[in-house]
């Protein structure tokens, strides 16, 4: 659905971005052509996107951290580190 599409767009933008922020030019052309306005003074931070993505996967797995780590392609230790870093634990 829409959440999965958004996650895919954001993951792609993170991969294509050159720095710590996602800019409009990092987004696919079809997204840039939508009617919404991007706030250029407040770019999305990579850490904010990562935190939200982790929380989304945690929710989808019902809080199962082993499955969350597997879906994210990271170790369970890395997941715990990120959860602590983002103040989730």
Question: Which positions ≥6 away from 36 have C-beta within 8 Å?
Answer: none
Domains of the chain by range and CATH?
A: 2-85 (1.10.10.60)
- pTM of the full predicted structure? 0.54
pLDDT in tens, 4-62: 777 888 888 787 777 778 777 777 766 665 545 555 555 668 888 898 899 999 999 99
First-last CA distance in the chain: 29
Residue 21, helix vs strand vs coil: strand
């Amino acid at each position: 659905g829409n959440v999965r599409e958004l996650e895919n767009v954001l993951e792609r933008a993170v991969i294509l971005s050159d720095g710590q922020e996602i800019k409009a030019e990092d987004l696919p052309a079809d997204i840039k052509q939508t009617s919404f306005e991007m706030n250029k003074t407040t770019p999305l931070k990579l850490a904010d996107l990562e935190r939200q993505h982790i929380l989304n996967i945690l929710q989808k797995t019902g809080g199962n951290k082993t499955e969350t780590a597997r879906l994210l392609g990271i170790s369970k230790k890395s997941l715990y580190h990120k959860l602590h870093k983002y103040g989730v634990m």
